[in-house]
Amino acid sequence: MVKLDLESMARTKSPTNIVGPQIRKRRSDLDLTQEELATRCQLAGFDISRGTLSQIEAQLRCVTDDELLALARVLKVTTDSLYPADKRSRKPTISKQSRRPFR
């Protein structure tokens, strides 16, 4: 019989925001204030306030998929680059041995 360690598999009580610090860093790299970034988002059709942006950067508010896409576009980066380096997707590599023609 297999015994599962349910505590290690438990979900957090609430979703977490792991992109906030990268959004803040990119905004800072572009020398933008939160107000300026919020304005650029609004001009691009993404309705966000400076206060909401502040909460996202401080990881107090979760970011939806749509919001992540909009922020990435306005910040001129990929969505992947807004994740911490250890959470970014890695492109799978295919070795020559595993390549076989489809039949």
CATH number where 67 lies? 1.10.260.40
Q: How many residues does the chain have?
A: 103
Mean of per-residue pLDDT scores for the chain: 83
For residue 89, tell me if it sits in a domain.
no
Reduce the DSSP state of residue 25 to 3 states and report it.
Answer: helix
For residue 5, tell me if it sits in a domain.
no
Least confident of 9-23, 38-52, 53-67, 73-87: 9-23
For residue 3, tell me if it sits in a domain.
no
CA angle 42, 43, 48 (to 5 degrees): 5
Longest CA–CA separation in the chain, Å: 59
Over residues 64-84, mean pLDDT = 96
* Count: domains in the chain: 1
What is the reported pTM? 0.72
% of the chain with per-residue pLDDT over 90: 65
Range of the domain at 53: 20-77
Higher pLDDT residue, 88 or 48?
A: 48
What is the Cα Rg of the chain in Å? Answer: 19
Over residues 49-72, mean pLDDT = 96
